[in-house]
Structure 1
């Protein structure tokens, strides 16, 4: 489809560093490189590819169909599903039609899906790939239109082919940058999710500036596999792809993850702590630590071994690796550094477009820090130790909740993050815990769990951990073992954890020292409601669910809870 005059004019007028809408960037690439690859979507072992022109054409068709319903400007349209090319195209189309995009985590349960759809008053829901469609099938909302992406087993009132069977939009709409672009509902580790409202200005400022901060260009390739409903993937992957013109690759399934990463050969790779730990365990399952350490210590051989490991992971072409969403153990970063993977931590929240700090470029002397504030972001530490942030990418508020909006901003408009931290003389920020996670023991002493949890995670057999102890004589640790650890005998595991307990306690003040470690056989997961969709531990849910275990009497320091 030839570009209309309007799109050509827009594409010619965009300055290199301008903060413009994703649509204007779409028109730019549609004009400048219409047949160039943009997205790759594997389906049943085959790959569907989308050029910039094809992407724009599909977005125009979806936008035309959406506008045919005559919804008022600013109507909220929801997307529920795993990351796919259609997810991105639908997101573009929603904005092209003048509506507001409302993403929902693919792992969301019935109550969350229903709450978001009703709270945001969404008349239409796009449904994509799901591991289990039971939750969405059970949601009954009068007059809700559902549109299924083109994958097997998706049930919806309209199929993808039916929905896009329409003449594409003939214009190239450009939104007002002060308009609301999206409402992103937080994962709700406590209570109902809050709808974080971002305008085009707020969220696009972060996406555009990330290109400079992370040296992203159109030559880059990136995997999109962390939830697009999460702010980090939305800003630093999806939106950043529009501003840079890079190539996006998707994953077909968990089983094909390694295959799909190798097919992409990403130059940028973002993950979360739990997945980095799983990658580490995967390497050690094939090459035990003692043998790996020996091989890495041999000149020339060590470099070849490290390169081979990176290649087998599909990360042989990567130049930047990052971790976010939750703290990653310094020991894990140090382990990956030895095989040539320098994981840079970053920090941000849904409320500030995931654009707070970055540890790029990587520095070994700053392992443990979440990095320095990005340019344009001002970070300060309040009297109570809270990290507070001011920047152009802060949200404009919580949807339909002025009380919570007022409570989360200071009088001088800094965002209260709820994270406790410190800043060193070089400007690097360290998180020391969450203010709401700090608890008081029976002795009236306060304990901050995060640093203790980080130390426990340095033992590679520990996959998940939660330090708790409200009103107990001493804090305790609840943990789940890695899959590889479970192949060992109970005696070996007990011995390893006893050594870890002794080591950790030796560096803690007396009131912080752990009384015991309780090992859980059941994995904490999204499905059993013990993890958020971004794989953070739901501390308060765990404390409530396992209250009797936590408050039980035990004779041993290492306890197996069957």
Structure 2
């Protein structure tokens, strides 16, 4: 029998009672001001808000939306929703009005908490008429039906509500790299199982520190920051803005950190912006001096205290992992999906094998089907998609395995290696199938390439679309052209003939969340990229240069 696990609110009540005065959440307020909230502060505010929610006499299990960038009261509101017996529905804070309205209507949300947002006027147009809104302490200008202060005038609830393991806790809408987002339903048991097992892997505890900066509405930040902090007692620091991010990182000096590959790449590009890649690599290779240089680089980033550094949500280039290793930091890969609470595979210290992610997490079963798709089964697997039984049946097998959509293979020790996405694989005009992700990882080794997308559906051969880093854009084309040509030769030499790239195209756009090229978790939206540049694919394929710039 699998070992027992604990449920989120049960663990929170225990911490609230055991060390009420201990620091829990640290929130920057702007202008250098910081608010520190203890476990007792968080518990009191959540209990007052829960009392107010109960007084509204909503049906038990009502769906309540949470629209905010990361902040202390995002977590407090989430706890209050659960204490009141309801279901939290977090939304990405940068959705368009149309997308926000779609999620609010599809989720049947009956109330919405509104917090820290960059462009509320644009998003607010999507809020269905008549949906009550509650502003959190950090909120945009605008008109709201209630304020957090209104909720805090209620007396705190005196009981400790304990939802059953099978009760629905949250509906997490996927960020949607293609198509419309789906509402992933997770129970308290799903969350409790994944967090209980996951937090036992690294020995984190009350003296550890986290920085919350990826969207809390995403399953990775929800599990690794919000719930992991509750289960381990870690202090959570919040980032104020993109402009203050480095200062926020240095203030927190996290001892544990989860990042998507794009974040780890941004750190690297920031370093390269101050010291050329060749110069840094030379210094890191020097005996004795190299170790000190690596530590100095990490300290400059605020990463010198990191004991646990994880990367997930997308494939990470091997060259990037090697670079951090030279600095003295082991960035370990994790693998999971929204549908599995992000809990599936992990690389633990001392078990690393180049090119492989890691072994299954405790109590996770894995099998590879005849098509090569990776299937996983554990208590962390979702209940299903909200109001979509057909899609649920397509994704969950009759015996409870989750179809990941990823192709992969296992070694003799159970480590997993992904070989491509089933839906991302395209067919060239020669009838050959190509998986883009492994090729993109090979291209990403170049110190001036910040983002890359391999396309080729219906083309005679694939193309590599590249976005240059800031330093790359400042560099002249002549010097870059020769190094990119060498990169293309090196990459093609390692590929099968049908996979080889016709040429590299340096595009003039930057790919960002704001212009729709990236999901909120910084994954490229292949369909958007293909729509944006597709009209030029044939023309680029016919050009004679190995490397060309978009005009």
Q: TM-score, normalised by structure 1?
A: 0.95
Report SS of the residue matched to 1:223.
strand
Q: CA-to-partner distance for each residue in 1:254-293, whole Å, 9 max, x for gaps?
A: 1111111111121101111111111011112222222222
Q: 1:204, CA displacement in angstroms? A: 1.4
Question: Structure 2 CA distance, aligned partners of 1:152 and 1:76?
Answer: 21
Name the structure 2 match of 1:335: 323
Which structure 2 residues correspond to residues 131-150 of structure 1 after superposition, within 5 A? 131-150=118-137
Q: 1:171, CA displacement in angstroms? A: 1.7
Report SS of the residue matched to 2:12.
helix
Between stretches 468-477 and 82-91, larger displacement belongs to 468-477
Q: CA-to-partner distance for each residue in 1:335-356, whole Å, 9 max, x for gaps?
A: 1100011100100000000001
Which structure 2 residues correspond to residues 464-503 of structure 1 after superposition, within 5 A? 464-503=451-490
Name the structure 2 match of 1:524: 511
| Match for residue 282 of structure 1 among 270, 281, 284 | 270
Report SS of the residue matched to 2:429.
coil
**8 Å CA contact retained: 1:269, 1:320:** yes
Question: Structure 2 CA distance, aligned partners of 1:109 and 1:382?
Answer: 38
Which structure 2 residues correspond to residues 36-115 of structure 1 after superposition, within 5 A? 36-44=22-30, 45-115=32-102
Which structure 2 residues correspond to residues 119-158 of structure 1 after superposition, within 5 A? 119-151=106-138, 153-155=140-142, 156-158=144-146
Which structure 2 residues correspond to residues 298-317 of structure 1 after superposition, within 5 A? 298-317=286-305
Name the structure 1 match of 2:375: 388
| Pair 1:191-2:191 in alignment | no
Q: 1:134, CA displacement in angstroms? A: 3.2
Q: 1:161, CA displacement in angstroms? A: 1.8
Structure 1 stretches lacking a partner, 5+ long: 1-16
| Pair 1:429-2:416 in alignment | yes
Question: Structure 2 CA distance, aligned partners of 1:66 and 1:152?
Answer: 19
Q: 1:511, CA displacement in angstroms? A: 1.3
Report SS of the residue matched to 2:247.
helix
Name the structure 2 match of 1:20: 6
Q: CA-to-partner distance for each residue in 1:387-444, whole Å, 9 max, x for gaps?
A: 1101110001000110000001223221100001111122211111100111111111
Name the structure 2 match of 1:238: 226
| Pair 1:226-2:226 in alignment | no
| Pair 1:35-2:21 in alignment | yes
Question: Structure 2 CA distance, aligned partners of 1:234 and 1:362?
Answer: 27
How many residue pairs end up in the alignment?
A: 545
Name the structure 1 match of 2:549: 560
Q: 1:363, CA displacement in angstroms? A: 4.7
**8 Å CA contact retained: 1:269, 1:318:** yes
- The structure-2 alpha-carbon separation of the partners of 1:320 and 1:140, relative to structure 1 and needing over 3 Å to count, comes to closer
| Pair 1:511-2:494 in alignment | no
**8 Å CA contact retained: 2:132, 2:145:** yes
Q: CA-to-partner distance for each residue in 1:82-115, whole Å, 9 max, x for gaps?
A: 1110000000000000000101111212122111
Name the structure 1 match of 2:437: 450
Q: 1:152, CA displacement in angstroms? A: 5.5
| Match for residue 203 of structure 1 among 187, 191, 202 | 191
Which runs of 4 or more aligned residues in structure 1 lie more than 6 Å from their structure 2 counterparts after TM superposition? none
Report SS of the residue matched to 2:273.
helix
**8 Å CA contact retained: 1:127, 1:154:** no
Between stretches 280-289 and 66-75, larger displacement belongs to 280-289
Question: Structure 2 CA distance, aligned partners of 1:285 and 1:362?
Answer: 32
Report SS of the residue matched to 2:58.
coil
Report SS of the residue matched to 2:375.
strand
Name the structure 2 match of 1:248: 236
Question: Structure 1 CA distance, aligned partners of 2:245 and 2:472?
Answer: 23
**8 Å CA contact retained: 2:224, 2:258:** no
Question: Structure 1 CA distance, aligned partners of 2:99 and 2:402?
Answer: 26
Q: 1:362, CA displacement in angstroms? A: 4.9
| Match for residue 245 of structure 2 among 242, 257, 261 | 257
Q: 1:18, CA displacement in angstroms? A: 5.2
Q: CA-to-partner distance for each residue in 1:459-489, whole Å, 9 max, x for gaps?
A: 1211111111111111111121111111100
Structure 2 stretches lacking a partner, 5+ long: none
Q: 1:41, CA displacement in angstroms? A: 0.4
Name the structure 2 match of 1:403: 390
Report SS of the residue matched to 2:470.
coil
Q: TM-score, normalised by structure 2?
A: 0.96
**8 Å CA contact retained: 1:20, 1:177:** no
Between stretches 298-307 and 66-75, larger displacement belongs to 298-307
**8 Å CA contact retained: 2:448, 2:471:** yes
**8 Å CA contact retained: 1:177, 1:199:** yes
**8 Å CA contact retained: 1:78, 1:104:** yes
